[in-house]
Amino acid sequence: MSNRNKGILLLLISALGFSFMGAFVKLSGDLPTMQKAFFRNIVAAIITLGIVLRHKERIFGKKGNQKLLLSRSVLGAIGIILNFYAIDHLVLSDAEMLNKLSPFILIIFCAIFLKEKAQRFQIIAILVAFIGALFIIQPQFSVDIFPYIVGVLGAVFAAGAYTLLRVLGSREKHYTVVFYFSFFTTVLLLPFTIFMYEPMSWQQWVLLILAGAFATVGQFGITLAYKFAPANEISIFFYSTVVYSALLSIVLFGQIPTLLSVIGYVIIFSASLYMFLKNNRLDKQETEQEEQLKTS
């Protein structure tokens, strides 16, 4: 199997992991969002701690990277809380698609903070994706729009976390970054969970533990996928999350996305496909130019 195909397979597994995480969070019922997010992260922290210790790495990373690790964790924690709120209050596939706006927002953040020039086609894709989001949100400027706004804000904070991940990528091991984030979020949410705690049935305990386990699968899947192949070559396959979530919404919750939502999915998917094809074309052109320089 080629590295690109390994990356694609891992990304499909990651998408399935995050889809089941969302489904288990929704199935766990009417519990405080903070409590759900706490259990999702403490499970991930326990699993990744074992991996970090096995590799004999520093548990909390290098001293020089603490500001980056802490900032990434703060942004990621807020993103998870907002995403969980959206999952609880929206059709699962709607919440997932709004969360998938983060790659487009990431382009904007990288241009602003990392001085990575945004290409014209990327700007076009961002505008098209925003139009797709409007189809899903269907703004009526009423209280009903609030969970959709929360879902978009979740994508904004996730994009902020991914921006810092790009900086951390060459400085820290992926499992150290995942553990730091999971541990930080667990500690952050502990006081809220104690204060707002609601007793859980054994079924809810099982569902939230499963949510944490599948979130860990998703986190490691996406991290390893981008080690095998560049994000611009394979990231399109992460949108399979929406397909999985739509099916889970219908089977588990009897929630069928509206026609306008489906149109929004198609628009955002088309924008990401357009970016994928353009990035591949640019990569081929750069490779050909490098080969010409070598032979000349």
What pTM, to 2 d.p., does this model score? 0.83
Provide mean pLDDT across the span 264-278.
85
Residue 172 main-chain phi, psi, to 5 deg: -135, 155
The pLDDT tens digits for 203-218 are 999 999 999 999 989 8
- What's the pLDDT score for residue 142? 66
Provide mean pLDDT across the span 127-144.
80
What CA–CA distance (Å, rounded) separates 191 from 30? Answer: 19
Are the C-beta atoms of 216 and 2 separated by less than 8 Å?
no
Are the C-beta atoms of 228 and 10 separated by less than 8 Å?
yes
Q: In sequence order, which residues have a C-beta less than 8 Å from that of residue 218 and are 6 or more positions away? A: 14, 15, 16, 17, 18, 21
The answer, yes or no, to whether residue 67 has pLDDT greater than 80, is yes
The pLDDT tens digits for 195-249 are 999 999 999 999 999 999 999 898 888 777 767 776 656 666 777 887 888 888 8
What's the distance, CA 271 to chain centroid? 18
Q: In sequence order, which residues have a C-beta less than 8 Å from that of residue 195 and are 6 or more positions away? A: none
Which single residue is written with the structure tokens 């969302």? 22
The pLDDT tens digits for 8-57 are 788 889 889 999 999 999 999 999 999 999 998 999 999 999 999 998 88
